[in-house]
Every structure is written in C-alpha cells, then in structure tokens.
Amino acid sequence: AKIIFTDSAGTQREVEAKAGTSIMEAAVQNMVPEIDADCGGACACATCHVYIGQEWLGKLKTMDDMEESMLDFAEGVQDNSRLSCQILMSDELDGITVKTPESQ
Ligand code: FES
C-alpha cells in the first residue's frame, strides 16, 4: 500500500509498504527524513511522531495507553498526532497522507 509523506518543507515522497509494516519502518527503509525512531519501534522514544491526514484518522486503530502517554513527550503535538511505529499498514490505508514534523 502507498504512503504519501510530506516533510516540513513541503516535499512529497511516495513510498510503497507491505501490509503489516509500520509507517515508521517504511519511512526508515526508504530514507524518508524527519523520522528518527530512536527506540526502533518499541513505543519508547516518541521520535517517530507524525501528523496524519485528517481524512485518514478515522481509519486508524485508536491509540493504546502506551502510545498516548509516550506521545506526551513529542514536540508540537496536535489532534492528528500519532507515533508512526504504532500504525501498521494495510490495504485499507492505501494512499494515506502523513506529514513529518520539523524536529523530533
Ligand atoms: Fe520509538 Fe516509535 S520508534 S516510539
């Protein structure tokens, strides 16, 4: 499924991700900037913080407690903020739009 990343400067990058791959993993594998993912996907660092396109928010699984409390450590959190290591791709999310923050 396709993920469309937009970085803080407005540059778009399209990435292909297999079902079951997290948005963070897809970003790292494809050298998408502005996702640090220091903890490697263990939901323990908040440096994989991204903004999800509003129209996609309803299609995502709701945040669990761990993601919610870790997200408190991210900078510039908005109502569409999520941790990208906690979102697994599926066919349903094909074409999802994800904005990356300027700093993590
Ligand atoms: Fe560390 Fe997502 S990679 S919380």
Biggest CA pair distance of the chain: 32
Model confidence band, residue 18 (pLDDT cutoffs 50, 70, 90): very high
Total Cβ atoms within 10 A of residue 2: 14
Is 15 close to ligand 1, i.e. is its CB under 6 Å away?
Answer: no
- 67 in ligand 1 pocket by Cβ < 6 Å? no
Token pair 């697994």: residue: 88
Averaged pLDDT score across all residues of the chain? 97
Query: What is the Å distance from ligand 1's center to 66 Cα?
Result: 11
Quote the pLDDT of residue 14.
Answer: 98
Question: Could you tell me if the CB of 53 is within 6 A of ligand 1?
Answer: no
Cβ atoms of 83 and 27 within 8 Å: the answer is no
74 CA from centroid of ligand 1 (Å):
10
The structural domains of the chain, with segments of one domain joined by +, span 2-99
* pLDDT attached to residue 9: 97
Average pLDDT over residues 5-9: 98
For residues 47 and 45, give the distance between their C-alpha atoms in angstroms, rounded to a whole number. 5
The fourth-level CATH superfamily of domain 2-99 is Beta-grasp domain (3.10.20.30)
Q: Does the interface predicted TM-score (ipTM) exceed 0.90?
A: yes
- Considering Cα of 55, then 61, then 62, then 64, what sign does the dihedral take? negative
Show the tokens assigned to 49: 């913080």
